[in-house]
Amino acid sequence: MNILMLTDFSTNARHAHQYALELYKDHDVNFFLLHIKKPCLNSQKCSGKCKLGLHQKLMSDAKDLVKINQQAPPKAVLVEGSFIEEIRAAVIKHNIDILVIGAKGKSAKNQNAIGSYTQAIATKVKCPALIVFENTSVVKPTSALFPVNYTDALYPACLNKLKNLPVWKGLSLKILELKPLTTAEHLVLSSKQILENTLKKQSFEFINLAKQEDSVTKEATNFDLLVFAAKNLSVGNKVFSELKQNKEALHFKTPLFILHA
């Protein structure tokens, strides 16, 4: 398995890396630590000094992370260019299975629990993404909440990405059924059948959220992980909207695992 950890050298990014390294401890994993540098406006004036400084900083961070998981020392990768495009390129080049992203949880600038860059990565880069908040406890998850509303098709290839989690076999999974935004009953039944067939060997149960306006993130505070499929756009939009608009979400600490096929 190959895991790409994004860094901007912030405290919350380092915390996310620690979480991932602990989560995949004693597993056969290759870690890549990626920093994306904005192109210099005047490269001649810089003479490459800024790039050298960033490389040294990146190597230092990678060295520090070895102390957490000595079996899988991260490989430092420094690139220059467009943020989303460089992440997409790195995912293809290194055959990445999971992206790891740090989230501040409480921003002094906009008071959002999650930033626009983080949401863009999670939705626009077609790779499963693990978003870890700065106040997330560094413990292996034992329970997960998976909200669905059957409005958008769920695919086995996407659901099977859950099995990349090292705690998958012992994970207590709850399927949170939201009110469908479709009146096509056959689509609801089809998606539910796909869920049951794909997860049939896993311990899981369905629970129902009585009202569509109820908070998914509030329900998720009792779980170690919040999972949703990127293709289920209305669910993803609901989660991100809550993290941006609800003041209580400023202290949200349940990591998000966004599934892509």
Q: Which domains does the chain have, with CATH numbers?
A: 2-133 (3.40.50.620), 143-254 (3.40.50.620)
For 92, residues 6+ apart whose C-beta sits below 8 A from its C-beta are: none
What is the reported pLDDT for 71?
75
What is the reported pLDDT for 179?
79
Q: What is the pTM of this model?
A: 0.90
What is the reported pLDDT for 107?
47
d(CA 16, CA 135): 10
Q: Where are the alpha helices (DSSP H) in the chain?
A: 11-23, 43-46, 49-66, 83-93, 116-124, 156-159, 185-198, 216-220, 233-245
Across 180-200, b (16+ Cβ under 10 Å) vs e yields: beeeeeeebeebbebbeebbe
Q: Tokens for 9? A: 């050298």
Residues 126 and 32: beta-carbon distance below 8 Å: no
Q: Identify the residue whose tokens are 């420094």.
A: 78
DSSP helix/strand/coil, 69: coil
What is the reported pLDDT for 108?
42
What stretches in the chain show pLDDT beneath 50?
107-108
Give pLDDT tens digits for 207-250. 887 666 678 998 999 999 999 999 888 899 999 988 887 656 55
